[in-house]
Chain A
Amino acid sequence: MKSLQQETVAGTKSDEIDLIAGTSLWHDAWKRLRKNNMALSSGVIMVCLGVACLCGPALLGIMWGYDAHTQNLAYGPQPPSLQHPFGTDFYGRDLLVRVLTGARVSLSVGVLAALVAASIGTIYGAVSSYNGGLVDSFMMRIVDILYALPYMFLVIILVTILGKSLLLLFLALGAVGWLLTARVVRGQVMSLKEQDFILAARSLGTTSRGIIFRHLIPNTLGPVIVTFTLTVPSMILQEAFLSFLGLGVQPPQPSLGSLINDGANQMLVFWWTLVFPGGIMAIMLFALNFLGDGIRDALDPRMKI
């Protein structure tokens, strides 16, 4: 209770300052996010992980000559040591390099798939809601029907049709994952389109397309970002799910899912082959979920669970 009071006191103080400086949604959100220690530390973890994924493999390659693909059976599976902090896998490849490379694949597939999903969902929801009436009910009926289809099965069918390539993997994930964004955006646009600035835009002769892309969509950005940040971890999870089943990223290219699958097959003897990729995956999802929650609380305090 005490800390709550202090918080509100601090809140009113900075609000007074902002009254003079003027405040925007993003400014407010950033201020709220900065107070959220867990979200901030998650952000820092994600930045570190991102940098490690980007530079780590190359760095390890230059310094010690490790790379994710070259096999060296003589180095067999070795437990973690100073030379190989995560140990080596069955084919004598350094596991740290492979986990970092795999995390990079997982992260990029997750972000790209979430981007695809957010774009499709935003445009679909905005168009549907702006047109209203029959168009709206037809388009939303399609969303309802897609909701009723088993999501993962659809992705599996798409993957078998499109072939197991990395490029098509995130397209398949994104192509099925846009339903939530579409619903959120539709709800937002429903109330936005009745407002005066839309009437003003229309009376100035702005085309429907202009109104949707220049006026409506930018105003739904807050909720879209919130759903986007929470979609990224779920996309990473689904990519790993597919790779675990052998449907996603194909060897020798590592991904966290396929590394975990390899590790699970030999965990009894070589425990580190499961524990390290699994641990990195869990840390990544944990941080992303926390960050997503923080961003949601910051952008829309009412949505707070």
Chain B
Amino acid sequence: MIRLLSRRLLELVPTVLVIVVASFALVRLAPGSPFSSEKEIPAEIRQKLEAKYGFDKPLPEQFIRYLGNLLKGDLGLSTKYPQRTVNEIIANGFPVTLTLAAVALLWSLLVGITAGIIGAIRQNTVWDHAAMTAALVGISVPSFVLGPLLVLVVSLRLHLLPPAGWGDWQHVVLPGLTLGTIYAASIARLTRGGMLEVIRSDFIRTARAKGLSERLIVWRHMLRGALLPVVSYLGPAVASMLTGSVVVEKIFNVPGIGPYFVDAAFNRDYFLVMGIVLLYAFFLLFMNLVVDILYGFLDPRIDVS
């Protein structure tokens, strides 16, 4: 297990390196500069600013320096917020985004798997049709429509939950629902499909013949096979939840990392953009690794190594 993990981690090194180079090139070769915004800066001050961030040196040299700092865990200084380092901004915002994504993930798994099971074991009944139509509606209502509608109904008309802000658990509910619903719908469809694949297979018939209770058959035998497609969907789902939270954070005024990214991309805040992209890329690679390993546990036929 440890050998497998260390080998997989080692394999990630070239991928990570390519991602660093590619994002550095993409961000730095873009026209414009962090100091070319609204007002004209005197040439003298500009030179000093560029020297402070090291922009006066040739690009390859800057890259080497960036890479060196990166290895030390230093993501550099923000140009938009001169008082703060990228590390600080991420340390403040990322836990918030992560909390939001975790709530959304939990919600989507809970609702999605339940609806999927109901759909499969009551196949072609009213229950099934209701669950699957609900799933398709869920896929079709984007977060930026669902979010404002939830605010309108739940917060402003019924006064049940706060419409925006961040602080206690009440603030997490609506953004979490908004972000998670679309994935709940996909998970419901995947679970149902997976269950239907195994529902008529021999090992289920064996389980029935052994006289296992229906509950045990569903939870222990069917679900395990059905969850494979769901698990492989989780990697990309978490990825798009993290990026999708940009919109949800804007709607609910949540102090996550999303708004910083959009701002940073516009202001050519080189180090902040790079920092966030790299953070997310690392996180995605990590998630995919976890999914691969989970896969081996769920389906013994798959050889992870």
Q: What residues make up the interface of A, taking CB atoms closer than 8 Å to B?
A: 141, 144-145, 147-153, 156-157, 160-161, 233, 237, 240-241, 244-245, 247, 257, 260-261, 263-264, 267-268, 271, 274, 278, 281-283, 285-286, 289-290, 304-305
Contact = CB atoms under 8 A, between A and B. Distances in A.
30 contacts: A145-B15, A145-B22, A149-B281, A149-B284, A150-B242, A151-B240, A153-B265, A156-B261, A156-B262, A157-B27, A157-B277, A161-B30, A245-B246, A260-B144, A260-B148, A261-B144, A264-B147, A264-B148, A274-B148, A274-B149, A274-B152, A278-B141, A282-B142, A285-B141, A286-B140, A289-B139, A289-B140, A305-B189, A305-B192, A305-B193
Q: Number of contact residues on B: which range applies?
A: 35 or more
Contacts of B147: 264
A157 B152 CA distance: 32
Given A145-B18, A153-B276, A305-B189, A160 B240 contact: no
B140 A285 contact: yes
Nearest to B258: A245
A152 B244 contact: yes
Given A149-B281, A160-B266, A274-B149, A285 B261 contact: no
Given A157-B30, A264-B251, A305-B193, A148 B136 contact: no
Interface centre among A160, A263, A286 (most CB of B within 10 A): A160
A268 B156 contact: yes
Nearest to B192: A305
A151 B261 CA distance: 13
Given A151-B240, A278-B145, A289-B136, A271 B152 contact: yes
B280 A240 contact: no
A226 B27 CA distance: 34
B261 A282 contact: no
Contacts of A161: 26, 30-31
Interface in B232-254: 236, 239-240, 242-244, 246-247, 250-251
B285 interface: yes
Given A274-B152, A286-B137, A244 B277 contact: no
Interface centre among B148, B149, B239 (most CB of A within 10 A): B148
